[in-house]
Structure 1
Amino acid sequence: MAMQISALNSKDTRPQTLGVAAGSGYDEAQAPAKVQNRDSGGEIGVKVQRHGQWALMSQAQSRLSMLQSMEQSIVSTYRQLVNLARQLDQNGGQSQALANQARALAHQVKSDGWLDGELSPNSKQGQSHYLMNRVDLLSPRNQGETVRIGLPGGNHLSLKLGAQASQSRALAELAPQFARLGITASLSGQGKLQLTGPEALFSSPWTFQGQGIRVPAGNPIPIGLDAQPQVLEQLADGLEGTNLDYEKARLRALLVALEQHRKALQAQRQQLMARMEALRSAAQLASQDPDALGSEIKSYIKGGDFGAQLQALMAQANLSRQSVVSLLSL
């Protein structure tokens, strides 16, 4: 939906007339020109303000388009997995053909780029996803620790980890420290620390040096990170095996997760649309402060990581059968 916004009125509280003292030598012939110059400055301010509003609405519209594309990718993937699950129930003996379908879907999802390897919304397109499987920085420990990490390209991190920190608190403390190097830290579907950033930062093993709590003390040791697994490739491999009951359970779990992701994206899209509409209405009716609403939208647009909201949804109880199947009617 294309959003339009009218020009905001400039609230110029400066005096409209100038008091002139007698004998000041003031040239009254120059007064109109000066007032005209002042008025021109006000017009420029309005134009600048209008341009800023248009630019902001354009950014918000781009964000809406991204959210919509993610939703569409989720719906398409969901429907294909439902079809795959039905075929598996009816024709379990044709597992090789089903495995080929799963690999074709994996290729499609990767080419689209809107979902990552775990079929979660991918707000970091063009970047790589890795898991820190060999070092546990998220589990609680009785003591705090400083872990020093050396990354490719001469980059370094010094991570301060608190004692008895829960998984969520540890992640909240680590995220801003990784963000200094352009790396997004989040929680994977398996509860591992997932890092997303430029491929160059993961091109070779990282070196770790700790204090003997999470990481051995002494000389730095190289530890490689694992590329995020492609869950659809794992499904395809499993369909070629003999434990088809496990793959049926995997499919059910993927369907539930996709429904949760769709709900989170839908909520974000609706919230952003409501903020945009409020900004448009405020500009027309002056019932609220458009600048305040604009700042709110800016903050919302910059908050592009969906991890926290998705994790909160995933922590809820399993969806009912009616809720899971609701995607089929879209």
Structure 2
Amino acid sequence: MQIQQTRPGGVAEAPAQLKLRGQASVQGKNKSRQPVAMDRHPNVARLERWALIGTAQQRIAHAQGGEQALGQVWGELKRLERQLSQTTSAGGEIVQRLRTLEEKLTSQDAPLTDALKPRLLNGAGSRVHYGVDHLELLTAKPTAERLVLAFPVSNSAVEVLIPAGAQGQEVIKRLDQALNKEQIQARMSEQGKLELSLPEAQRRKLDEPVLISGEGIRIPAGNPVPVKFKQHPGQLSLLGEGLGRGEIKQEQRRLHKLLGEIEQSVRELKQFRQKMVQQLDKVKSRSQSLKLDELEQLQSKLSSQLKDGGFAGTMAGLLAQANVSRQNVVALLA
């Protein structure tokens, strides 16, 4: 073992020197780390930007999927159009074919809604419609009634008071006001029946039985009665049902209308996709020349556009900005 020599009465300086060297070492490390952290900051921002661009590219791919789905429906309807021009009746095979196609392309995670609209263009505005056959609320009754509709899914309930003699639109208005807090709308269908709709994300509220209780003629006091609301059939199912009943002329008109709507939706999807691709290409080509604050603004703009899938508004914005100068990349996505 080596013992360090010291001066008489003195204190060994080695610990002090070690401490100083340690402090200097820490300070040196901190100094060396600072520029590294500053250098890394733009890299993090760049990674975040590319993640957003990747999300946009994924949405563009979804738009392509919507175009393909609309193409399948268009092809099937054109085939059906030719068949109907050669016959005065439609067999069960046609009805089943339409129903199968609807189940494939308009389910909850499919690219189209039951109205054959692209789910991307609808964004959060897509709604599901329901009716009920065995509960008549729109006819007048001689006494006032009180209804309580409980939704087990959300563990919530609403109360509706229907005055004596109220009917039709007056009852609809009261139901709509009461159900508003559940994001449910009440409307009268073309057939004069009660129709409820709600956002697709909330559809479980009406997919499962609703517990209805109250005081009156339609719902007497007592234990809640489970009532099952039935989702309305989609456009393809309605077309098939009409053909099955032999309403050829009427359903031919529906078919022609659907073909026109599908062609319009395809144009909108294609236009959106092309514009979005152009904007992303411009952003990529000029990303190296952007300053850090501009890069952060660009990320914020792109993130807000992709939020909630608001494709219709984004498309309108891009079309409006078609002639913007290339010098302001941020404004390209404003």
1:115 aligns with 2:112: yes
Which of residues 23, 42, 48 is equivalent to 2:44? 48
- Residue 151 and residue 281 in structure 1: after superposition, are their counterparts in 2 closer, same or farther (change >3 A)? farther
Contact 1:264–1:309 (CA under 8 A) maintained in structure 2: no
Alignment match, 2:129:
131
Contact 2:127–2:200 (CA under 8 A) maintained in structure 1: yes
Contact 1:151–1:206 (CA under 8 A) maintained in structure 2: yes
Alignment match, 1:6:
none
1:238 aligns with 2:258: no
1:302 aligns with 2:307: yes
Which of residues 289, 293, 300 is equivalent to 2:294? 289
Deviates further, 231-240 or 271-280:
271-280
**What are structure 2's unaligned runs of at least 5 residues?**
1-19, 136-146, 160-172, 316-334
**What's the secondary structure of 1:131's corresponding residue?**
strand
The superposition leaves residues 149-195 of structure 1 with CA deviations (integer Å, 9 ceiling, x where unpaired) of 63223432779xxxxxxx9xx99x95x963xxxxx9899x9797343
1:64 aligns with 2:57: no
For 1:151 and 1:79, the matched residues in 2 are separated by 41
Which of residues 30, 35, 44 is equivalent to 2:31? 35
For 2:250 and 2:26, the matched residues in 1 are separated by 87
Contact 1:88–1:95 (CA under 8 A) maintained in structure 2: yes
Which of residues 257, 260, 284 is equivalent to 1:280? 284
The superposition leaves residues 41-88 of structure 1 with CA deviations (integer Å, 9 ceiling, x where unpaired) of 123323322221222122111111111101111022112212211221
For 2:203 and 2:296, the matched residues in 1 are separated by 38
**What are structure 1's unaligned runs of at least 5 residues?**
1-24, 136-146, 160-166, 179-183, 211-215, 311-330
The superposition leaves residues 112-145 of structure 1 with CA deviations (integer Å, 9 ceiling, x where unpaired) of 42223222223599xx96414469xxxxxxxxxx
- Residue 57 and residue 307 in structure 1: after superposition, are their counterparts in 2 closer, same or farther (change >3 A)? closer
Contact 1:129–1:228 (CA under 8 A) maintained in structure 2: no
1:255 shift after superposition: 0.8
1:152 aligns with 2:160: no
1:282 shift after superposition: 4.2
Alignment match, 1:251:
255
Identity over aligned pairs, percent: 20
Contact 1:185–1:196 (CA under 8 A) maintained in structure 2: no
1:223 shift after superposition: 5.7
The superposition leaves residues 277-302 of structure 1 with CA deviations (integer Å, 9 ceiling, x where unpaired) of 34324413328923222222222222
For 2:285 and 2:182, the matched residues in 1 are separated by 39
1:88 aligns with 2:92: no
> If the length of structure 2 is used for normalisation, what is the TM-score?
0.58
> If the length of structure 1 is used for normalisation, what is the TM-score?
0.59
What is the alpha-carbon root mean square deviation over aligned residues?
Answer: 4.8
The superposition leaves residues 221-275 of structure 1 with CA deviations (integer Å, 9 ceiling, x where unpaired) of 8764331313222222222333211011010111122123223323432343344
Alignment match, 2:93:
100
For 1:296 and 1:308, the matched residues in 2 are separated by 13
Contact 1:272–1:300 (CA under 8 A) maintained in structure 2: no
